Amino acid sequence: MARKKLIAGNWKMNGLLADGIDLTKGVAAEVKAMGKPECEFLVCPPFTLLTSVKRALRGAKVALGAQDAHFAEKGAHTGDISPVMLKEIGCQYVILGHSERRADHGETDELVNKKAVAAHECGLKTVICIGETLEQRDAGKTIDVCSKQILGSVPDSATAADTVIAYEPVWAIGTGKTPTAADVEEVHAAVRKVLAKKLGKGNANKMRILYGGSVKPGNAKEFLSLPDVDGALIGGASLKVADFIGIAKNAGC
Ligand code: 13P
């Protein structure tokens, strides 16, 4: 089953205008220079940069995504942004349920699910994040935790066309630590099985499952050549053109 790899940058709360535009132009130029890359590219800047990044991406085969969205279309939700607002300014994707949102804002599987339904309804694709903490891993609960997050966070109506999963072990994010390749493949294969039960085999076989957590040019090949790893969700290394593109190139894009 051929799944096109997705190389996605999550800039998190980083980037003022000038730096964000430099980074975007650098990524756009490198992706253009690749001609017809084997992979798809996605950048997810903070809300404040979305419109400017969209403009700077013009003509480049790099999709634009946001890092969160509310489930409501509009209304009294101070500080929130709705999916339809993101769609209007040219976003194609939105990351939902990142472990930093689950930790910093108490987001639950139920909430992530509601957000995903709303995002899909207005035509946004979602990158739904899951992953265990170090305590959960040490207790041998990784697969259980990830399965539960998939069952709870992914809408029953999700399809391979509108949903991407990102497996990001919490303890591997921003730490330079990573699971072994065998561990990553084990989780991804287990996640695909849960997806098959939930959404049917057709969707599960086509749905992309990204790995995230300290992905660098130096480990990209090891992770992205695994059979059930369909790309990467990259934090720190997505803030440098050479690292982001280096990951893609080493992954065979
Ligand atoms: P790092 O690549 O900085 O570890 O972050 C991963 C991540 O959280 C991407 O969403």
- The neighbour count for residue 57, using CB atoms within 10 Å, is 20
Q: Indicate the DSSP class of residue 38.
A: S
Distance of CA 30 to the CA centre of its chain: 21
Q: Is the CB of 179 under 6 A from ligand 1?
A: no
Q: Is the CB of 232 under 6 A from ligand 1?
A: no
- The neighbour count for residue 38, using CB atoms within 10 Å, is 11
Containing H/E element for 248?
helix 241-250
The set of catalytic residues is 98, 168
CA of 75 relative to ligand 1 center, distance in Å: 31
Ligand 1, atom 9: nearest CA belongs to which residue?
Answer: 235
In order of their start, the domains of the chain are 6-250 (3.20.20.70)
CA of 174 relative to ligand 1 center, distance in Å: 6
Q: Is the CB of 10 under 6 A from ligand 1?
A: yes
Task: Please answer whether residues 250 and 244 qualify as being in contact, where contact means their C-beta atoms are separated by less than 8 angstroms.
Answer: no
In terms of phi and psi (left: phi > 0; alpha: psi -120 to 50; beta: otherwise), the region of 213 is left
CA of 168 relative to ligand 1 center, distance in Å: 8
Containing H/E element for 6?
strand 6-10
Closest ligand 1 atom, residue 216 Cα: 2
Tens place of pLDDT per residue across the chain (253 aa) = 589 999 999 999 999 999 999 999 999 999 999 999 999 999 999 999 999 999 999 989 999 999 999 999 999 999 999 999 999 999 999 999 999 999 999 999 999 999 999 999 999 999 999 999 999 999 999 999 999 999 999 999 999 999 999 999 999 999 999 999 999 999 999 999 999 999 999 999 999 999 999 999 999 999 999 999 999 999 999 999 999 999 999 999 9
Furthest-apart CA atoms within the chain: distance in Å: 48
The model's pTM: 0.98
Per-residue burial over 143-161, b if 16 or more Cβ lie within 10 Å, else e, is: bebbbebbeebbbeebebe
Task: Please answer whether residues 238 and 196 qualify as being in contact, where contact means their C-beta atoms are separated by less than 8 angstroms.
Answer: no
Q: Is the CB of 210 under 6 A from ligand 1?
A: no
